[in-house]
């Protein structure tokens, strides 16, 4: 979690740089849209092979004492998918412009061409992401999580350096060049070094008759064939938001700001828990598996509810600190803060679905969550259309929240029906205590910050530098009030969370 959080902080530095240098408008919308086809190609051609199915397969071989055979399967899959992805990259070069035009109907012709050019720069990076992901799975199985966090830091720094070094000559495509370099240096090179240091051996050749390849295909093909809302949310939002200049950028920035705490609770917890869940399932410890998943969900939901209360209350100063300045105007910041607050309401649900999905993957079941996710996506798409026509970009953020609730509820229900994880094992009392504490502390902080922000000298200030020196103490003060009040209320309600947190930090 610590390394992932640091990676997301560097990611926010990247977002701050892009906002300052390029603002929120047609150019940045084209840049954000350029990532869609490379990510989509990676999703459908590779599925969850890198960080999901391969962890489960390698754990099976380790439990049987056949680690060398597991490495052989790793090499076979790497070689096989490397060829497939290379062919996909070549095809994507020709499909870039038609794809951008079809999925962003509000783009002008010059925006389509600009976005397509950056798409072609980004496409080869998917080969590095895939290879690095498979090599990183060998480290996750060995419970080495540090590389996963560092790769994101290197990737984000490379994008910033690309813009700083090449921005004057190339304009915004310099960011895409930095992203390609970062994909090689971060996800691929670092994981390759880590795997080599761990003693993993790579072999040339493809053996289509190997049972490990068949097992991998059996688990991964459903992920390749299906489509789920957690992945397609940005695509659906981008389709509608392309009609408003800067809406894609502002929504994406809000989602990236939201992704920092989400990465700590949802992605980091999910990635760290998968090897443990898969080992319990491989050892046929069904009770420990069920209680472990339920306990993990209860904890991340409780923490998500608490964190969301503080972030919603402090959305305005937080967005101003991260985004205000340069070409990113006060209006852009105000809109982004509102979208961020809406996205944050679903933090606990995003966290829960990450754990529930990995419970299925740890058991080697990929077709069922993918089928459920596809159905949920089809049901949710009309919600995005209604949200956009009802309240524009803010309606899209609300529709995103509603969609992820449907996704999470469906996964929880299916696990319960299959008697893998019981809903009765969830610690709803602790979640309820955190909800009460979060509502009360968040409301107090919001009132306090509203009172400070309404002071005449602050309300009429227009200098970005002045606002920064005001917002930073305001944010620190709000965070301190929120933490102390939430801890006090939880203590009064009988929650063990404050005591456990103090013990974790060596206090008391």
pLDDT given at position 124: 93
Same domain, 192 and 255: no
**Could you tell me the residue range of the domain that residue 1 belongs to?**
1-225
Same domain, 148 and 178: yes
By CB atoms closer than 10 A (0-12, 13-18, 19+), residue 457 is exposed
Same domain, 231 and 212: no
Q: Is residue 308 part of a domain?
A: yes
Q: What is the pTM of this model?
A: 0.75
Token pair listed for 9: 């902080």
Same domain, 131 and 266: no
Helix (H, G, I), strand (E, B) or coil at 328: strand
Per-residue pLDDT tens digits for 75-105: 887 888 788 888 889 999 999 999 999 999 9
Same domain, 253 and 313: yes
Q: Is residue 261 part of a domain?
A: yes
Q: What's the number of domains the chain is made of?
A: 2
Same domain, 300 and 152: no
Ramachandran class of 171: left when φ > 0, alpha when ψ lies in -120 to 50, beta otherwise: left
Of the candidates 36, 356, 377, 355, the residue with the CA atom closest to the CA atom of residue 229: 377
According to DSSP, residue 25 is labeled S
By CB atoms closer than 10 A (0-12, 13-18, 19+), residue 382 is exposed
Q: Is residue 479 part of a domain?
A: no
Q: Is residue 465 part of a domain?
A: no
> How far apart are alpha carbons 68 and 458 in whole angstroms?
65
Q: Which of 427, 442, 467 lies at the terminal end of a domain, its last residue?
A: 427
Helix (H, G, I), strand (E, B) or coil at 21: helix
Are residues 125 and 180 in contact, defined by beta-carbon separation less than 8 angstroms? yes
Are residues 250 and 338 in contact, defined by beta-carbon separation less than 8 angstroms? no
Four-residue CA torsion sign, 228, 229, 230, 234: positive
Low-confidence stretches of the chain (pLDDT < 50) are: 455, 457-459, 466
> How far apart are alpha carbons 480 and 467 in whole angstroms?
20
> How far apart are alpha carbons 438 and 493 in whole angstroms?
12
> How far apart are alpha carbons 111 and 99 in whole angstroms?
13
By CB atoms closer than 10 A (0-12, 13-18, 19+), residue 460 is exposed
Q: For tokens 């391969």, name the residue.
A: 54
Per-residue pLDDT tens digits for 335-374: 999 999 999 999 989 889 888 988 988 888 878 888 888 8
pLDDT given at position 193: 85
β-strand partners of 325 = 328
Are residues 304 and 362 in contact, defined by beta-carbon separation less than 8 angstroms? no
Cβ-based neighbour number of residue 64 at 10 Å: 11
Q: Is residue 487 part of a domain?
A: no
Of the candidates 391, 343, 289, 303, the residue with the CA atom closest to the CA atom of residue 59: 289
Same domain, 212 and 239: no
Using alpha carbons only, what angle is made at residue 239 by residues 238 and 243, rounded to the nearest 5 degrees? 90
pLDDT given at position 457: 47
β-strand partners of 328 = 325
Q: Is residue 503 part of a domain?
A: no
Q: Is residue 448 part of a domain?
A: no
> How far apart are alpha carbons 119 and 126 in whole angstroms?
11
Same domain, 231 and 219: no
Q: Is residue 497 part of a domain?
A: no
């Amino acid at each position: 979690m610590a390394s992932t959080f640091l990676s997301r902080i560097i990611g926010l530095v990247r977002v701050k740089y892009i906002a300052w240098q390029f603002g929120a408008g047609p150019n940045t919308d084209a840049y954000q849209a350029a990532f869609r086809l490379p990510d989509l190609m990676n999703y459908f051609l590779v599925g969850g092979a890198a960080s999901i199915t391969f962890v489960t397969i390698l754990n099976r071989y380790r439990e049987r004492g056949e680690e060398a055979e597991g490495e052989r399967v790793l090499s076979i899959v790497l070689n096989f998918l490397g060829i497939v992805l290379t062919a996909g990259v070549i095809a994507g070069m020709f499909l870039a412009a038609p794809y951008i035009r079809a999925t962003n109907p509000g783009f002008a012709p010059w925006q389509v061409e600009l976005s397509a050019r950056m798409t072609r720069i980004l496409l080869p990076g998917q080969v590095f992401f895939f290879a690095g992901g498979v090599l990183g799975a060998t480290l996750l199985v060995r419970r080495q999580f540090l590389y996963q966090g560092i790769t994101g830091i290197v990737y984000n720094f490379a994008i910033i350096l690309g813009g700083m070094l090449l921005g004057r000559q190339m304009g915004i495509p310099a960011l895409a060049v930095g992203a390609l370099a970062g994909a090689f240096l971060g996800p691929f090179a670092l994981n390759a070094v880590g795997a080599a240091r761990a003693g993993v051996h790579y072999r040339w050749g493809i053996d289509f008759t190997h049972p490990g390849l068949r097992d991998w295909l059996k688990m991964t093909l459903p992920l390749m064939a299906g489509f789920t809302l957690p992945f397609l949310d940005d695509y659906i939002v981008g389709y509608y938001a392309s009609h408003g200049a800067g809406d894609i950028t502002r929504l994406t920035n809000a989602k990236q700001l939201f992704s920092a705490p989400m990465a700590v609770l949802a992605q980091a917890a999910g990635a760290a828990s998968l090897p443990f869940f898969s080992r319990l399932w491989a050892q046929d410890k069904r009770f420990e598996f069920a209680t472990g998943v339920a306990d993990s969900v209860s904890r991340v939901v409780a923490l998500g509810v608490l964190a969301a209360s503080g972030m919603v209350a402090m959305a305005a100063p937080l967005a101003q600190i991260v985004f205000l300045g340069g070409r990113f105007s006060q209006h852009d910041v105000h809109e982004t803060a509102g979208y961020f607050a809406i996205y944050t309401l679903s933090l606990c649900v995003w966290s829960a679905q990450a754990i529930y999905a990995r419970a299925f993957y740890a058991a080697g079941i990929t077709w069922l969550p993918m089928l459920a996710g596809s159905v949920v996506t089809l049901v949710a798409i009309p919600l995005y259309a209604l949200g956009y026509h009802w309240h524009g970009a803010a309606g899209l953020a609300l529709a995103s929240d509603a969609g992820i609730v449907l996704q999470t509820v469906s996964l929880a229900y299916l696990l319960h029906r299959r008697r893998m994880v019981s809903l009765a094992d969830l610690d709803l009392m602790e979640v309820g205590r955190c909800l009460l504490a979060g509502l009360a502390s968040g409301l107090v902080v919001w009132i306090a910050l509203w009172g400070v922000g309404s002071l005449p000298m602050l309300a009429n200030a227009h200098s970005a530098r002045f606002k920064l020196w005001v917002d930073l103490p305001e944010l620190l003060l709000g965070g301190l009030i929120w933490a102390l009040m939430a801890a006090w209320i939880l203590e009064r309600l009988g929650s063990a969370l404050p005591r456990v947190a103090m013990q974790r930090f060596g206090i008391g």
